[in-house]
Structure 1
Amino acid sequence: MGELLDALVVGAGPVGLTLASELRRRGVECRIIDRLDEPSPACKAVGIQPRTLEVWE
């Protein structure tokens, strides 16, 4: 039988990756799925706000 997870994050863009990072930091078991098999060659974030950099740090 499959592994039991607390959360499933759909989309591996900037928001999905940030969400998954925050969930794991809080002890939530999660998995990320995305429709693409490899990273996109195009940028998905136009700019990054200072507060976002603080959260990522």
Structure 2
Amino acid sequence: MARSESTDVLVVGAGPVGLTLAAELRRAGVACRIVDRLPARLPYAKAVGIQPRTLEL
């Protein structure tokens, strides 16, 4: 049986932008949940670099 939980925002994707968005939402007091297609974290970063425009929300 699935658990019933409440969240304000669902962030799809745990890449650099998704994780930054989730961090900013939590800092603002917004309940959020992150989902990603990978079952676990990778031991290395997938992004070689992050462009400033990529993080504009």
| Shared fold (TM-score, shorter chain, > 0.5) | yes
Task: Provide Cα deviations, 1:16-47, integer angstroms capped at 9, x if missing partner.
Answer: 00000000000000000000012246643232
- What's the counterpart of residue 19 of structure 1? 21
State percent identity of aligned pairs: 68
TM-score by length of 1: 0.71
In proportion to residue count, which structure has more helix? Answer: 1
1:1-57 equivalences in 2 (<5 Å): 2-40=4-42, 43-48=45-50
TM-score by length of 2: 0.71
Which residues of structure 1 form unaligned runs of 5+? 53-57
SS where residue 9 of structure 1 aligns?
strand
RMSD: 2.0
Shift >4 Å, 4+ stretches? none
